[in-house]
Amino acid sequence: MSNAPKRALITGIRGFTGRYMANELMSHGYQVVGLGSQPSDQPDYHKVDLTDPAATRKAIAEIRPDVVLHLAALAFVGHGDTNGFYRVHLIGTRNLLEALASAERKPECVLLAGSAYVYGNSAGGVLHEGTLPVPANDYAVSKLAMEYMASLWQERLPLVIARPFNYSGVGQAENFLLPKVVSHFRRKATKIELGNLDVWRDFSDVRAVVQAYRRLIEVKPLGQTVNVCSGQAHSLREILEICQAVTGHSMDVMVNPAFVRANEVKTLCGDATRLRSLIGSWETPSLEDTLRWMLAAA
């Protein structure tokens, strides 16, 4: 019986989540191979555009992964290239699944990172996996379309779909909410321009999210869709208050109408019951702990 480490393929490995995912897997004995669309000199990395089916098939044939974590995405909801959401999330994912299904050796688990944004604006309270999706923007529509497309491959591939709610941590780009707020407090800015202050989000810590992903590929709940979330929602006003309390700094908060999206999802709070029933006890650090970590980072 071989004692060789399992080979884990991470698409989007050079992204925010991908870097943490690689560290999580390597610390648990996996051999990590990365795939991304930009050049990199990091070891075991393949530059591949997933929208190119031939290049994707070639890479999968060479890598022969035991498990796959498909994180490649246009992660920023306000991204200007609307068509890009569909090219990357739908076409890119389909090319990956086709390459995996036609490979000589199929992986034992493929985790697709979806999004809690598929739930949209209409459902109140805590959202569980059975909540009817009503996506409110193209990002969310493209992620839900990816889920429906992936269902066509369920009989040929061992798929698990994760629906992460908002999460953050050190190294996330400043066009995301928490890093933007943290950056302003760290440099002691006098003012900050934000959108709607009365949005509520369920925030997890990226370190806990990648741990949940790893544990999901190990328990292999094939064919299931799983929320990854804290189960607690915090408003933007609370985030500002926490940062002010931690740093002792205050600033003027300006609502810029250009940052207020007409189709903004007002409240997103998830139910993590299924996640914990599958992987066992799992917690994310409190929002305050995550913000303290981000505020203290060099």
Kindly report, residue by residue over 63-103, the tens digit of the pLDDT. 999 999 999 998 665 556 789 899 999 999 999 999 999 99
Mean pLDDT computed over 142-156: 97
pTM of the model: 0.95
| 9-31 per-position pLDDT tens digit | 999 999 999 999 999 999 999 99
192 domain residue, yes or no:
no
297 domain residue, yes or no:
no
Query: What CA–CA distances, in Å, run from 298 to 107, 136, 171, 290, 293?
Result: 39, 36, 10, 15, 10
Mean pLDDT computed over 107-116: 97
Angle at 113 between CA 200 and CA 147, to 5 degrees: 100
| 165-191 per-position pLDDT tens digit | 999 999 999 989 999 999 999 999 999
Alpha-carbon dihedral angle through residues 258, 260, 262, 267, given to the nearest 10 degrees: 170
pLDDT of amino acid 1? 45
159 domain residue, yes or no:
yes
Count of domains in the chain? 1
- Mean pLDDT score of the chain, rounded to an integer? 93
14 domain residue, yes or no:
yes
108 domain residue, yes or no:
yes
164 domain residue, yes or no:
yes
In the sheet that holds 233-235, the strands lie side by side as 233-235, 200-202, 267-268
2 domain residue, yes or no:
no
153 domain residue, yes or no:
yes
Residue 137: CATH number of its domain:
3.40.50.720
Which structural domain range is residue 210 located in? 7-169+204-231+268-284
CA distance 93 to 114: 11
pLDDT of amino acid 123? 58
Mean pLDDT computed over 232-259: 94
Confidence category of residue 157, pLDDT binned at 50, 70, 90: very high
Structure tokens belonging to residue 153:
């491959």
